[in-house]
Structure 1
Amino acid sequence: MRSSVHLGRIFGVPVGINWSVLVIIAILVFGLAFGRFPFDYPGLPSWAYLLAGVVAALLFLGSLLAHELAHAVMAKRHGIEVAGITLWLLGGVAELRGESRTPAADLKIAGIGPLTSIAAGVVFGIAWWLVDSFGGPPLLAGMFGYLAVVNVILAVFNLIPAAPLDGGRVLRAALWRLWGDRVRAAVAAARAGRAFGYGLITLGFIEIFFGVGFQGLWLILLGLFLVHAASAEEQQTRLGASLHGVRAADVMSEHPIVAHPDETVAELIDRLVLRHRMSTYPLVDERGVFQGLLTLNRIRQVPRPAWTTTRLGDIACPAPEVPQARPDELFTDLLARMNGAPDGRAVVLDAEHRLIGLITPRDISHMIQTVDLRSAHPYHAPRGADLTGAFPPSGDTGHDHPRAA
């Protein structure tokens, strides 16, 4: 889930919102301002209900953000990179690039989210009690009471033992500790999540069939999300295990065709593009030091009249933005950094930052298809703390971890 609007950084973690978050805001505001609040606290002007609905919706989103930030901060404490947090339709996503190395760390990262939601519920509950006890506006007290209840419900729902919910992470940590096999534990948690998702879909259709109302559609949507996320997580877990032990040098294409940053687009097209079936051209200087990465897509964005005057270095992806690795680095570690990279490529460099090889989507696909055929280089699947996540899981709802609210 990608951010549509970036809000900045909190505790060093990039935070953004996806456009779909407007849907949940609209649902909350409409349901509270024109339904719950007027029914519970009649006789007030419409603007009061609307204001309370907007404030409640924003505070609820703040609660979701706090939930995700708790995951992110705990993950960073355990040495896991956090790419960012995105709020969206079904809650929030804390994108973690990597995985816990021990069951205890896994448990802490998973459990801190629901604990934060419970803490938020307690804070809002205290606010409700104070406003009610000191004769404050009943509508204000009711708003705090609603937020207290919904945060507790969020915590309880996320503790259901089914990945990618936080409870699925807790289940994974427990099974990992019991079995000593992280892959087996992750697969079991993912399958539990898929079963739970199918259960929600079934319940949603039953509610629609009996005319219960809109809630059935919401359950179907949530169930479909959980099924998709859990299936993707199982696939990613198996892929990460199969690639365990593979080095960047095992995947890269050696001696890639290179260009110089001072060449023009016209010169590159005449010299290389029309003569070789390549879509990626690393840029290096006279000493072979990596300077940037150029793709055909970037070349196509240059107007034809500007080909003779546009330098390759001016349109290439800058070197710091390209994922880089040493030849002996584990490919799973590099793959985690490649997630979300501008051009989907990585380069392999030596200690002097000279280019050794290039890793493209085609190289990755070939490795995945042939890794089990490499009898001369057996890569044994890990069984415990030596597993590092190849991909951020697509759901934890929180860790490519989406969190269903």
Structure 2
Amino acid sequence: MTATVTLGRIAGVRIGLHWSVLGVVAILAGAGFARWPEVVPGYSPVAYAVAAVAGAVLFLVSLLAHELSHALVARGHGVAVDGITLWLLGGVARLRGEASSPGAELRIAGVGPLASVVVAVLFGLLAWVSTLLGITGLVIVVLSFLTLINVVLAIFNLIPAAPLDGGRILRSALWAWRGDRYRAAVWSARAGKGFGFGLIVLGGVWVFTTAGPDGIWWILIGLFIVTVATVEEQQARTSGALAGVRVRDAMTSRPYRVDGSTGVTTFLSELAPVRKHSAFPVVDVSGRPCGLVSVEQAAKVRPERRHVTTLAEVADSLADVPVVGPDEALTDVLPRLDGSAGGRALVVEDGALAGILTSRDVSVISTLRGLDGSAGGRGAGTIFRPAG
């Protein structure tokens, strides 16, 4: 899930919003604006609108607290964090890699629901203190709503079904019991698919028996859970098959590279047609890698500007391209590879370009090791945590 807008960083973790998060705000704010006048009548429409929007925004803050707790605990256990994105169905903490032990997996997963409970308690205390101070009406309604919805968030995420936190907890327990993290992940994913299909059926029955729209929300959540759980099952199978494989075993060694000072015209007319690659590593004057350029990127330069534009100007820099080492475990690299544009990573050793790793390379070695060649998706090790 790629953020549409980046808000900044909290404790070093990049925070972003996907455009679909506006749907959450609209749904929650609309529900509050429609129902709260019946609960606490006597306020102006503007007051109800402000309260409803404030409640929706504070709910997003609650989601952020939930996801941030995952990210910080994961980082404390040595798992790199790409960032957090809030979107239509909750939040996503993008963790690069997996926990090193069942205990670490349990702590990373369990802290999310715990954070939601803590947030619920804080809002509950605020409601209680506000009541003692004689504050009533809309303020209490909003605080009570936030208390309740965070309790629901914690309970829902404890359901033992991937990709929910409860599924991670189930996976850690099965991993500790059987000693096989990949088989534990498969079982957790299957539980997630079963739960997701159950939500879809429940939502369908709700829609057709009550003629109400609320069931559509459960159908969407069910579809999301089934989709992610299916991907996670494939990831687990891929990870099990690729256990012990290093990047150097799969990468393309000594790839053709282009100088960053090369003009776009020369690249498109002389180099790309001959080499017939879709992307090329870019090196600086000293021969060290400085980025990656695709034929598509170069072709987007206006024809009249191509003769004065260099590849270094249009290429993705190393900050935007996954850079991996040849001795890294392939399963640890897959999340970065699949999260990149084009599914490519530069392999660098001692500052020099050692190779390039692509999704095709992964598919080839997966086929050689007995898989169906479809290893892909987000990659083993990406933890996709929907909060809500």
**Could you tell me the TM-score, scaled by structure 2's length?**
0.93
Q: 1:258: how far off?
A: 2.0
User: Which position in structure 2 is the counterpart of 1:15?
Assistant: 15
Give the Cα separation in 2 of the matches to 1:134 and 1:355.
Answer: 66
Give the Cα separation in 1 of the matches to 2:143 and 2:90.
Answer: 20
1:81 aligned to 2:80?
Answer: yes
Q: 1:357 aligns with which of 341, 355, 358?
A: 355
Give the Cα separation in 2 of the matches to 1:121 and 1:370.
Answer: 51
1:27 aligned to 2:39?
Answer: no
Give the Cα separation in 2 of the matches to 1:16 and 1:206.
Answer: 35
Q: Is contact 2:262–2:311 with CA below 8 Å preserved after alignment? A: yes
Question: Residues 326, 212 of structure 1: CA spacing in aligned structure 2 closer, same or farther, 3 A cutoff?
Answer: same
Q: 1:360: how far off?
A: 2.4
Q: Is contact 1:95–1:392 with CA below 8 Å preserved after alignment? A: no
Return 134-143 or 119-128, whichever deviates more. 134-143
Give the Cα separation in 1 of the matches to 2:238 and 2:96.
Answer: 15
Q: 1:287: how far off?
A: 5.3
Q: Is contact 2:337–2:358 with CA below 8 Å preserved after alignment? A: no
Q: 1:348: how far off?
A: 2.1
1:367 aligned to 2:365?
Answer: yes
Give the Cα separation in 2 of the matches to 1:131 and 1:340.
Answer: 46
% same residue = 45
User: Which position in structure 2 is the counterpart of 1:401?
Assistant: 385
Q: 1:344: how far off?
A: 2.8
Q: Is contact 1:97–1:391 with CA below 8 Å preserved after alignment? A: no
Give the Cα separation in 1 of the matches to 2:327 and 2:347.
Answer: 10
Gaps of 5+ in 1: 374-388, 394-398
Residue 220 of structure 2 aligns to a residue whose secondary structure is helix
Residue 293 of structure 2 aligns to a residue whose secondary structure is strand
User: Which position in structure 2 is the counterpart of 1:230?
Assistant: 229
User: Which position in structure 2 is the counterpart of 1:305?
Assistant: 304
Q: 1:213: how far off?
A: 1.5
Q: 1:390: how far off?
A: 4.6
Describe the superposition over 1:39-86 as per-residue Cα deviations: whole angstroms up to 9, x where unpaired: 111122222211211111111111111011111110010011111111
Once the two structures are superposed, the pairs formed by residues 281-300 of structure 1 within 5 Å of their partners are 281-285=280-284, 288-300=287-299
Q: 1:368: how far off?
A: 2.2
1:169 aligned to 2:168?
Answer: yes
Give the Cα separation in 1 of the matches to 2:84 and 2:29.
Answer: 23
1:264 aligned to 2:263?
Answer: yes
Give the Cα separation in 2 of the matches to 1:284 and 1:147.
Answer: 53
User: Which position in structure 1 is the counterpart of 2:332?
Assistant: 333
Once the two structures are superposed, the pairs formed by residues 198-209 of structure 1 within 5 Å of their partners are 198-209=197-208
Q: Which has the higher relative contact order, 1 or 2, with Cα contacts under 8 A spaced 6 or more apart?
A: 1
Question: Residues 362, 94 of structure 1: CA spacing in aligned structure 2 closer, same or farther, 3 A cutoff?
Answer: same
Residue 174 of structure 2 aligns to a residue whose secondary structure is helix
Residue 257 of structure 1 aligns to a residue whose secondary structure is coil
Q: 1:253: how far off?
A: 1.5
1:391 aligned to 2:384?
Answer: no
Q: Is contact 1:247–1:327 with CA below 8 Å preserved after alignment? A: yes
Q: Is contact 1:198–1:223 with CA below 8 Å preserved after alignment? A: yes
Give the Cα separation in 1 of the matches to 2:381 and 2:100.
Answer: 14
Once the two structures are superposed, the pairs formed by residues 215-254 of structure 1 within 5 Å of their partners are 215-254=214-253
**Could you tell me the TM-score, scaled by structure 1's length?**
0.90
Give the Cα separation in 1 of the matches to 2:44 and 2:267.
Answer: 69
Question: Residues 325, 217 of structure 1: CA spacing in aligned structure 2 closer, same or farther, 3 A cutoff?
Answer: closer
Once the two structures are superposed, the pairs formed by residues 35-114 of structure 1 within 5 Å of their partners are 35=35, 37-114=36-113
Describe the superposition over 1:91-145 as per-residue Cα deviations: whole angstroms up to 9, x where unpaired: 1111111111111111111111111111111111111111222321222112111
Q: Is contact 1:169–1:189 with CA below 8 Å preserved after alignment? A: yes
Give the Cα separation in 2 of the matches to 1:149 and 1:155.
Answer: 10
Gaps of 5+ in 2: 372-377
Give the Cα separation in 2 of the matches to 1:11 and 1:331.
Answer: 29
Q: 1:334: how far off?
A: 2.4
Give the Cα separation in 1 of the matches to 2:39 and 2:284.
Answer: 71
User: Which position in structure 1 is the counterpart of 2:374?
Assistant: none
Describe the superposition over 1:281-307 as per-residue Cα deviations: whole angstroms up to 9, x where unpaired: 222356542232221011111122223
Residue 163 of structure 1 aligns to a residue whose secondary structure is coil
Q: Is contact 2:183–2:236 with CA below 8 Å preserved after alignment? A: no
Backbone CA RMSD of aligned residues:
1.8
Residue 299 of structure 1 aligns to a residue whose secondary structure is helix
User: Which position in structure 2 is the counterpart of 1:376?
Assistant: none
Give the Cα separation in 1 of the matches to 2:347 and 2:204.
Answer: 51
Residue 204 of structure 2 aligns to a residue whose secondary structure is helix
